[in-house]
C-alpha cells in the first residue's frame, strides 16, 4: 500500500487488529485470541467462539436414568450454562428421583470443574398422551400416576407455564421412544404394536412441538433423536420402530417449516450411532452392533453419549441459527459406508490396496 492511499475505517480496524494495536481509543484490539486495551496492554483472554447457553432454559423429554443420551444431553446443556428441566415417565419417576436424592448419580452428575449438575425441576411425563382426557381412567388412578396431576404433554406444558411464565423455554429435546414389539420382525408385528411405536416414538415429537411451541421464545430450538434404521434395514430393530424413526425424520422437515413460519423456531433431529444404553438393551446384544459399526466406520472409536450431547448443544445454540429441517448424523461416519471393511480387504487382496486405507 502506498503512503498516498487512504485507509477506510474497516481497513484500519483490520490492520490494527492484525498488528495487535487498538484501532481507536476505547476499542480493544484482538491478537491471537487475547484482548489488548487502547494503550496496547494485554488485559485478558478474549472470548473465543463457543457455545454459550447462559440465561436459557431447556426441557428434555425422556430422562429416567444416567446411562442414556437424554442424561448426557442434559449435562452438556447445563455445562454450557442452561438451566435444565426434564420429563420422566411416571413408572420410572419414583426410582429416578430417589436415586438422585440418595446421591447414586453423583458421579454422573459431576462436571469438568468438579461441580454437579442440578435439575431445575423434574416433571412426570407420559408422551403417549396429548391431554389428560386421553389417559384411561384406570391408568390415571393407578399408583404411579395418581400421585401426579396431569402427566400428558399438554399437562406438562401448562404446568411449566404456571411455574416459569408464558415463554419460559429456549430449547426442547425429544429423547424418548418405545416399541412394545421391538423384538418382533415387521411381518409378525401387530397393528396395535406398530401404531404404539409410531405414536410414542414419532407423533410425540409433533405433539411436543405443537404444545410447547408457544412456550419457547422466538428463535428457539427443538431437537429429536433418531436412528439410521429410518433409512436403512437394521434386522432385529422391529415392531415398527424403523417406520417410527422414518416418520420422525419426515416430521422433522415438515415441523421445521410449520414451526419456523409460526414461531421462528428451528426443528432438527440427530441420528445417533449405536450406543449401549439401558433402553437400547431391549433391542438385543448392542455391543455386537457397536463393534460392527466401529469396525466399518471411517472413525473407529466407539460413539460416546457426550458426543451426542455436545452435538445437541450446538443445535440448541445460536451457532446453528441457519440450520433447520436437518437430520444430523452423529455416528462416526458409519452412515456413509456402502461396503464392509472385511469385503474391502478381500477385494484389496485381489486387485491391490484401495485408496485411503491404512
Set out the domains of the chain in order of their start, with CATH numbers: 9-45 (no CATH), 57-336 (3.40.50.720)
Residue corresponding to grid cell 423434574: 122
In this prediction, residue 349 has a pLDDT band, given cuts at 50, 70 and 90, of: confident
Cell numbers that stand for 240 in this block = 415398527
CB 197, CB 178: distance < 8 Å = yes
In this prediction, residue 281 has a pLDDT band, given cuts at 50, 70 and 90, of: low
Q: What local confidence, expressed as pLDDT, does residue 125 receive?
A: 98
pTM of the model: 0.84
Question: Alpha-carbon distance 74 to 95, whole Å?
Answer: 18
Q: What local confidence, expressed as pLDDT, does residue 107 receive?
A: 96
List the catalytic residues. 227, 237
Question: Quick check: 346 pLDDT over 70?
Answer: yes
* 3-state helix/strand/coil string of 232-284: CCCCCCCCCHHHHHHHHHHHHHHHHHHHHHHHCCEEEEEEECCCCCCCHHHCC
Question: Quick check: 124 pLDDT over 90?
Answer: yes
Task: Please give the residue that has the higher pLDDT: either 342 or 256.
Answer: 256
Strand order in the sheet with 29-31: 29-31, 34-36, 42-45
Amino acid at each position: 500500500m502506498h503512503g498516498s492511499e487512504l485507509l477506510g475505517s474497516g481497513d484500519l480496524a483490520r490492520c490494527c487488529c492484525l498488528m495487535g494495536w487498538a484501532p481507536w481509543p476505547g476499542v480493544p484490539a484482538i491478537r491471537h485470541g487475547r484482548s489488548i486495551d487502547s494503550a496496547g496492554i494485554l488485559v485478558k483472554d478474549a472470548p473465543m467462539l463457543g457455545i454459550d447457553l447462559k440465561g436459557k432454559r431447556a426441557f428434555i423429554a425422556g430422562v429416567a436414568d444416567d446411562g442414556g443420551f437424554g442424561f448426557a444431553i442434559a449435562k452438556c446443556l447445563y455445562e454450557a450454562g442452561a438451566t435444565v428441566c426434564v420429563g420422566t415417565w411416571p413408572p420410572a419417576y419414583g426410582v429416578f428421583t430417589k436415586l438422585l436424592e440418595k446421591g447414586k448419580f453423583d458421579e454422573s452428575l459431576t462436571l469438568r470443574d468438579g461441580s454437579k449438575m442440578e435439575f431445575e425441576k423434574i416433571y412426570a411425563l407420559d408422551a403417549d398422551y396429548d391431554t389428560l382426557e386421553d389417559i384411561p381412567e384406570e391408568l390415571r388412578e393407578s399408583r404411579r400416576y395418581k400421585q401426579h396431576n396431569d402427566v400428558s404433554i399438554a399437562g406438562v406444558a401448562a404446568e411449566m407455564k404456571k411455574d416459569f411464565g408464558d415463554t419460559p423455554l429456549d430449547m426442547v429435546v425429544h429423547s424418548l421412544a418405545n416399541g412394545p414389539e421391538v423384538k418382533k420382525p415387521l411381518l409378525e408385528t401387530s397393528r396395535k404394536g406398530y401404531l404404539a411405536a409410531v405414536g410414542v416414538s414419532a407423533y410425540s415429537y409433533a405433539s411436543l412441538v405443537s404444545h410447547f411451541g408457544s412456550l419457547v421464545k422466538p428463535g428457539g430450538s427443538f431437537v429429536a433423536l433418531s436412528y439410521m434404521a429410518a433409512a436403512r434395514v437394521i434386522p432385529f430393530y422391529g415392531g415398527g420402530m424403523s417406520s417410527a424413526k422414518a416418520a420422525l425424520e419426515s416430521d422433522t422437515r415438515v415441523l421445521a417449516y410449520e414451526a419456523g413460519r409460526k414461531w421462528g423456531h428451528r426443528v432438527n433431529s440427530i441420528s445417533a450411532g449405536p450406543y449401549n444404553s439401558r433402553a437400547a438393551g431391549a433391542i438385543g446384544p448392542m455391543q455386537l452392533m457397536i463393534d460392527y459399526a466401529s469396525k466399518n466406520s471411517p472413525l473407529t472409536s466407539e460413539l460416546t453419549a457426550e458426543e451426542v450431547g455436545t452435538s445437541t448443544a450446538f443445535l440448541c445454540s445460536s451457532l446453528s441459527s441457519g440450520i433447520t429441517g436437518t437430520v444430523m448424523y452423529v455416528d462416526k461416519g458409519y452412515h456413509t459406508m456402502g461396503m464392509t471393511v472385511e469385503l474391502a480387504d478381500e477385494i484389496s487382496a485381489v486387485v491391490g490396496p484401495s485408496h485411503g486405507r491404512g
